[in-house]
Amino acid sequence: MAQKKPTMRRQQKPQHNNGKPGLIISHYGVAVLVRFDNGEEHPVKVKRNSDHVVGDRVMVVDERVTSLERRNALRRRDPFGKVRTLAANLDLLGIVVAVRPQTPSGFIERVVVAARAADIAPLLIVNKQDLPGTTAFEDQLQRDFPAMPRLAVSAKQGDGLELLRHELAEAGRSALVGVSGSGKSSLLNALCPGIDLETGDLNEEDHGCHTTSVSTLLALPNGGELVDTPGFRDFSPVDVSSEALAHWFPGVMSILEEQPCRFRNCRHRQEPGCRIKQAVTQGTFSEQRYQLYLNTLEELEQLETARNEGRKNPFCR
């Protein structure tokens, strides 16, 4: 099932005789920190709502920043309907999860959809191996995501970190995402000794406390680069159409690759000859995962309808 890849924002490469090329390595809202190709680092002011993000290649002329062409970008829609670009030019996306705090239903699936649609390889990182219940949690992940690469680590005890370092070095540029409290900052502290990022504890409801407020790109000692992003409990993909959703949704495409539906434009609801519906009936695709797919499909369809009719985003609060 061939799918058209999403079109990323493209800009003509500016022709500046006196410009300095560089890379954005931190974003502070009204300023970015640029690492220039000569090794120097310098903060440059930007507009608060500028589209510049960590990982962007830029040209700086007279304290003005112009982003160059992106290879890809990781984007999400927040609960208020606003599109947020998290990082650019990524090779791998580490999805950090743990038995505590509980990852919201559908969070992993939606992050995977966003990553695959942007041509970024997803990797499940199961943190906090020292917590009770982790074995059962990993067994469930294996059932839900059998084809997904997965690493088990413990930032606290150091388990699995050498293998993670190797994966990140091989990947090139990676980013970590996860709910607040999943241990992203603790992993970064373990991977990059000396950076001393603030870490947070869980509150009484087992929800994590936000500790990362800006995105930062770090050079890893063993090779590769890593972007830390703020924690959040929701993730709505942006650069994917309702038609292409099945191509990226974990578990759905693997079923369709074995035997496609009768109709090429099947949305996997009530169409005759639907392989996904058959898999649900046969128990090879869980009803819960199927409902997550339908919920995401409906959300994308509503957004597309609103956009085509020139209406306001239906999910804006």
Interval 99-136: pLDDT, tens: 998 999 999 999 999 999 999 999 999 999 989 999 99
pLDDT at res. 13: 47
Is 181 annotated to bind a ligand? Reply is yes
pTM: 0.85
Distance CA 66, CA 226 (A): 23
pLDDT at res. 314: 66
Q: Are 228 and 188 in contact (CB under 8 A)?
A: yes
Is 130 annotated to bind a ligand? Reply is yes
Going 297 to 298 to 304 to 305, the CA torsion angle's sign is positive
Cβ neighbours of residue 232 under 8 Å, at least 6 residues apart?
Answer: 76, 78, 179, 180
Return the structure tokens found at 175: 């980013």
Is 316 annotated to bind a ligand? Reply is no
Is 208 annotated to bind a ligand? Reply is no
Domain boundaries, the chain: 20-67, 73-228, 241-308
- The SS3 of residue 198 is coil
CATH fold for domain 241-308? Ribonucleotide Reductase Protein R1; domain 1 (1.10.40)
Return the structure tokens found at 33: 């920190």
Query: For residue 127, which of 173, 86, 186, 203 has the smallest C-alpha distance?
Result: 186
pLDDT in tens, 213-252: 467 899 999 999 999 887 777 888 898 999 999 999 999 9
Is 178 annotated to bind a ligand? Reply is yes
Distance CA 166, CA 164 (A): 5
20-67 and 241-308 have identical folds: no
Is 308 annotated to bind a ligand? Reply is no
Q: Does domain 20-67 have CATH number 2.40.10.480?
A: no
Is 228 annotated to bind a ligand? Reply is no
> In this model, does residue 75 exceed pLDDT 50?
yes
Is 200 annotated to bind a ligand? Reply is no
CATH fold for domain 73-228? Rossmann fold (3.40.50)
